[in-house]
Amino acid sequence: MAKTEFEQKIYDDVQQQKGTSFTVKASLLERLLVKKTACTNLHPNADDEFTFETVGPSMRIIGEYEQKFRTALKHNQDPFDDALIVEKLHPKGYLLLNGHHRWAAAMRCQIKKVPIKIVNLAQDSDIEKILENSKHDKRVTLDLDEVIFRGDKDKFVEKVPKFRLIKFKQKLKLGVPALFHYLSKQGYDIWVYSAKYYSIDDIQRFFRAYSVHVDGIITGTEKRKASNSASAVQREKLIASKYKQTLHIDNDMVLATGDIEGAKYKKYELNVPDDQWSRKAIDVIGEIAKNGG
């Protein structure tokens, strides 16, 4: 099927990026100061379904956004509820992570500048460096949004540090610092994940404010998993080959995978109130270690 003019433009942009562009880390100053950029300064992501020839952009979704934007502009209102999430590109511009259809609708509405939020994601080189420098063959994984972060209504949270360079609206689940310190002493690398596009340096600063160290931070996992890019597959292979044992800790359970008491995996229940969660998790991990896991 012949490409539309817009689809051809996307295809050409993706092809142009190959061999000439790559993502780089944006400075803290740039991330704090750059809140808008020209539509022409944004580039589609080759790992997003928006650019896949078998999927491509949805003209229906673009049309819905276009109608919304035109209505907002007609009433002198800001058409954007949320910023487009981007990474910095070398030699210039930004790579779209989230917001392709809104970007397309903005161009159709002749909106010259759009709001952006610049994030720094973990690159393959970052992960390779972590794995090379680590002396451990065990790791623990936790989901930031499901397990680690808590909201204003949650009762059992850590006291918020007074001095933080970047303020997060999320609070830290009670007992996480004590649990992480225990895990580090037991020889585990700590990896945290999120489906959302948090900037890894923001997450590092967040934990540092609580005197906590994490080894690996991988965000945007939902889109990365959907893209199933060769890079993402290779990354998971590298991690899997490094660690003989992995503990997946959530709110209700510890799932141990690897050679655990002669089995490939084993579940340990944590069914306790939130104020006892970290203590119970530490007891379970101690039990795993005692049994040779």
The pLDDT of residue 168 is above 70: yes
The pLDDT of residue 85 is above 90: yes
Choice among 67-76, 101-110, 216-225, 248-257 with the minimum mean pLDDT: 216-225
Q: Return the H-helix or E-strand segment holding 149.
A: strand 149-150
43 vs 166, more confident: 43
**pLDDT at residue 164, rounded to an integer:** 59
**pLDDT at residue 240, rounded to an integer:** 83
**pLDDT at residue 237, rounded to an integer:** 83
**pLDDT at residue 6, rounded to an integer:** 85
132 vs 263, more confident: 132
In the predicted model, what is the mean pLDDT of residues 13-29?
93
Listing DSSP states for 257-279 in one string gives EEEETTEEEEEEE--S-GGGHHH
Nearest alpha carbon to residue 130 among 204, 79, 208: 204
pLDDT tens for 195-246 read 999 999 999 999 999 999 999 999 998 765 555 566 677 777 888 889 999 9
**pLDDT at residue 169, rounded to an integer:** 81
CATH number belonging to the domain at 124-290, selected among 1.10.10, 3.30.200, 3.40.50, 3.40.1350: 3.40.50
3-state secondary structure 163-201: CCCCCCCCEEECCHHHHHHHHHHCCEEEEEEECCCCCHH
Total residue count of the chain as it appears in this document: 293
The pLDDT of residue 1 is above 60: no
Kindly state the percentage of the chain with pLDDT values over 90. Answer: 72
**pLDDT at residue 260, rounded to an integer:** 63
Q: Both tokens of residue 34?
A: 């750059």
What are the residues whose beta carbons fall under 8 Å from the beta carbon of 280, sequence distance 6 or more? 270, 272
Kindly state the percentage of the chain with pLDDT values over 70. Answer: 91
Hey, where are the domains in the chain? 5-118, 124-290
SS3 for 205? helix
DSSP category for residue 153: T
Confidence of residue 39 (pLDDT cuts 50, 70, 90): very high
125 vs 292, more confident: 125
**pLDDT at residue 165, rounded to an integer:** 57
**pLDDT at residue 123, rounded to an integer:** 87
Choice among 135-144, 185-194, 223-232, 249-258 with the minimum mean pLDDT: 223-232
- Determine the topology of domain 5-118 in CATH: 3.90.1530
